[in-house]
Amino acid sequence: MRFPLRQNNEIVFREYLLQTVEPIENLRAAYPRLLFRNLADQIVNVEVPAGAESEIRRLSSETNFLRIPTLYGLYAREALIESNILALHNYPFGPLTGQGIIIGFVDTGIDYTNKLFKNPDNTTRILKIWDQTLTGNVPAELGYGAEFNEAEINRALQSDDPYEIVPTRDEIGHGTFLAGVAAGDDKTETDEYIGGAPDAAIVMVKLRQAQVYLKQYYLIKDSDIAYQDNDFLAGINYLLQAAVEFQRPLVICIGIGNNDGAHSGSTIVERYLNSLTTFPNLIIVVAAGNEANSGHHFSGLVTRGQKQDIEINVSPEELRGYIVNIWASISDKLSVSIRSPIGQVINKVPVIANETTAYSLGLEQSLIIVTYNYPDIQTGAENIIVRFQNPTPGIWTITVYGEEIVNGRYNVWLQRNDFMIADTRFLTADTLVTICIPSSSEYLITVGAYNYVDQSIYVGSGRGPTADNKIKPDLIAPGVNVTGPQPGGGYTTYVGTSTAAAITASAAVLLMQWAVIQGNLEEMNTRIARGILIRGAERRRGIDYPNAIEGYGRLDLRNSIGMI
């Protein structure tokens, strides 16, 4: 889809993602006013300085593979014993504690002064921090942020004012919590807290908040916590480079995501992460998301000439608006009409490929913008995007019409939790196909959550399958009322699948140590690790596996290694 520079004469986009095989030097020569930066293989960030608007219009007209960044949010709000991780700290054939492995996070940052991330001599276990929000020592070729290495962090820890030397902080706490659950260790032994991989080295990328104009475009509040996927990709690439620099195996824990895609592993981010799953000495673990009970997914079935109503309850507090994404099966073509809560109607909108049409409702303040993204460049299917700006509270109805139908199945998603008011939801929601992006990528290790105390499934844990019917999540792990550190000291408890992902990532670290460092299985990557954890997962009596809630079962690291 080609995105115009302006939307409704309000928003000027200053960053884009470009997927291309063209060398970056050629792009710089052809569009000298634009700023190009490699994010990953064949993925380029494009920045539009003031005065370069004509060049981005020209680039947009010459490629179909240019799009604006999407926004990600966070997924977290005795677990190690439950998952048989702690037992391997004293493994009789060699303790498994994460020694020699890097665990990496792209998140909200880390409280590097916390005792859980220090050695007994008050030196740090953190190899690097890249804080995208600061200015300072900019990492090579990344162009923004500030990088702090192990020596600088150690110097800060010896100082009376550490933040004068290394000013990075975790104001939100999500990254600190996940790092503590996965790799924390109180080596002073004052309270005996221990994470899953207490001897792993840590690399943290602190994401910068999304630009305000992008939050406005996606109709979320300026105060919402949201991150751009181009910054996320840059963070993933930074972790990969750190693994190369230190010549150590790497496990990446991803605790963020969104609903902005087909949920079939087809987005740029998912396809890139999937391409990494064959890389040696790299394991990627991702949270399934907390969307199962949000009321943000609807699935329907139409035949040719038929229609189906989709009702959405819109909260009076949903002031800025919301976005609805309708995804047809690849063989089908759909169209839509819309009815407001007071009965005003937008008649069936004709399907015109890549056409955007705006409708003002005379008796209301609402502005409705319908885009037929057809065919979508990432899936080849039809994607209908409906934007509701300043929506009237009450029941809105989208009517879907079957124009050309072979399959007839379609899926509809609202934006993710935290980007919408809780009362804005489908009246008839589907709890299945609620895993989030990038967790619908086929070979990533996708993790849902359960309560390890009473063994119940966490009600929000994202459920599969994917929209193209792949089994997800792969497994579930403890994610309810797990204790972890908070910035400034002390502990808190979070609920969510990112907590389960952190526990699973710690298990992946120990598996990597057993396999690569100890030489038991020298070939290790995400796909191999996924298979090992799936085969060894605990499967309960009376439940059919795999299934859309638990995948192949519950994380059991000791059994997984024992079955190799």
User: pLDDT tens, 256-301?
Assistant: 999 999 999 999 999 999 999 999 999 999 999 999 999 999 999 9
The confidence score (pLDDT) of residue 2 equals 40
Please report the pLDDT score of residue 78 as a whole number: 56
Pick the more confident residue, 5 or 411.
411
CA separation for the pair 108, 23 (Å, rounded): 32
In angstroms, the CA 485 to CA 177 distance is 5
pLDDT band, residue 74 (cuts 50/70/90): low
pLDDT of residue 95: 87
CA distance 456 to 476: 11
What mean pLDDT comes out for the span 415-419?
Answer: 93
| pLDDT-based confidence at residue 396 (cuts at 50, 70, 90) | very high
Percent of the chain with pLDDT over 90: 78
- Determine whether 250 is exposed, middle or buried from the number of CB atoms within 10 Å of its CB (0-12, 13-18, 19+): buried
**Domain around 362:** 297-426
pLDDT at position 191 is 63
Same domain, 340 and 396: yes
What is the bridge-based pairing of β-strands 321-328 and 355-360?
A: unpaired
Judge whether 176 and 115 are in contact, CB under 8 Å: no
For residue 36 the two structure tokens come to: 């190009």
H-assigned helices in 172-307 = 174-183, 212-217, 229-246, 268-275
Confirm whether 104 is domain-assigned: yes
- pLDDT reported for residue 87: 84
Q: In this structure, are 531 and 470 located in the same domain?
A: yes
| CA 11/CA 23 separation, integer angstroms | 30
Q: Give pLDDT, residue 437.
A: 96
Least-confidence region, from 125-129, 358-362, 503-507: 358-362
Do 352 and 272 belong together in one domain?
no
Query: Are 260 and 178 within one domain?
Result: yes
Answer whether 250's CB lies under 8 Å from 200's CB.
no
Q: How confident is the model at residue 237 (pLDDT cuts 50, 70, 90)?
A: very high
Identify whether 1 is part of a domain. Answer: no
Residue 11 vs residue 543, higher pLDDT: 543
Q: In this structure, are residues 517 and 311 in contact, taking their beta carbons and an 8 Å threshold? A: no
Do 143 and 257 reside in the same domain of the chain? yes
Give the pair of three-digit tokens for residue 352: 């015109």
Instruction: State the Cα–Cα distance between residues 83 and 124, nearest whole angstrom.
Output: 28
d(CA 396, CA 312): 5
Nearest residue to 4 via CA among 217, 216, 248: 217
Same domain, 224 and 310: no
Residue 188: phi and psi, rounded to 5, are -80, -15
Task: State the pLDDT at residue 3.
Answer: 43
Q: By percentage, how much of the chain surpasses pLDDT 70?
A: 96
User: Does 369 map to a domain?
Assistant: yes
Residue 556's beta-bridge partner residues? none
User: What local confidence, expressed as pLDDT, does residue 1 receive?
Assistant: 39
pLDDT of residue 61: 85
Is the model's pLDDT at 200 over the cut of 60? yes
Sign of CA dihedral 109, 113, 114, 120: positive
In this prediction, residue 190 carries a pLDDT of 65
List the CATH number of the domain containing 382: 2.60.120.1290
Q: Are 504 and 488 in contact (CB under 8 A)?
A: no
Higher pLDDT, 437 or 79: 437
Helix, strand, or coil here: 205?
strand
Token pair recorded at residue 446:
């996708």
Domain for residue 355, yes or no? Answer: yes
Secondary structure element (H or E) that encloses residue 272, with its range: helix 268-275
Judge whether residue 75 has pLDDT over 60. no
Instruction: Out of 110-114, 188-192, 507-511, 530-534, pick the least confident.
Output: 188-192
Crossing angle of the two packed helices 174-183 and 497-512, in degrees rounded to 10: 40
481-520: burial string, b at 16+ Cβ within 10 Å, e else? ebebbbbeeeeeebbbbbbbbbbbbbbbbbbbbbbbbbee
In a domain, residue 379? The reply is yes
**Mean pLDDT throughout 157-170?**
96
Q: Is position 268 within any domain? A: yes
Same domain, 288 and 301: no
Which of 136-145, 241-250, 350-359, 540-549 is predicted least confidently?
136-145
Is the pLDDT confidence value at 494 over 50? Answer: yes
Mean pLDDT (the chain, rounded): 92
Taking the alpha carbons at both ends of the chain, their separation in whole angstroms is 46
pLDDT band at 92 (very low <50, low <70, confident <90, very high): low
Residues 241 and 352 in one domain: no
Query: Is residue 470 one of the residues assigned to a domain?
Result: yes
44-53, 370-379, 438-447 — which one is most confidently predicted on average? 438-447
Q: What is the DSSP string of 390-429?
A: SPPSEEEEEEEEEEE-SS-EEEEE-PPTTSS-TT-EESS-
Does residue 432 fall inside a structural domain?
Answer: no
pLDDT of residue 402: 97
Count of beta carbons in the 10 Å neighbourhood of residue 49: 12
Indicate which CATH number applies to the domain containing 251.
Answer: 3.40.50.200
Does residue 236 have a pLDDT over 60?
yes
Lowest mean pLDDT among 6-20, 145-159, 451-465: 6-20
SS3 111: coil
The domain boundary, picked from 68, 85, 117, lies at: 68
> Does 472 lie in the same domain as 356?
no
Q: Whole-angstrom Cα distance, residue 248 to residue 100?
A: 6
> Does 389 lie in the same domain as 413?
yes
Predicted confidence (pLDDT) at residue 4 exceeds the cutoff of 70: no
CA distance 117 to 201: 9
Which of 68, 100, 119 is the C-terminal boundary of a domain?
68
- From 393, 426, 459, the end of a domain falls on 426
Average pLDDT over residues 330-359: 95
Using only C-alpha atoms, the chain has a radius of gyration, in whole angstroms, of: 24
Same-domain check for residues 102 and 196: yes
- Beta-carbon contacts of 534 under 8 Å, excluding residues fewer than 6 positions away, are 474, 475, 551, 552, 553
Domain count, the chain: 3
Cβ(178)–Cβ(105) below 8 Å: yes
206 and 321 together in one domain: no
DSSP bridge pairs for 372: 355, 384
Mean pLDDT, residues 530-535 taken together: 98
Q: Please choose, from the candidates 543, 479, 558, the residue with its C-alpha nearest in 3D space to the C-alpha of residue 84.
A: 558
pLDDT of residue 73: 73
Locate the DSSP E strands across 111-200.
126-131, 146-149
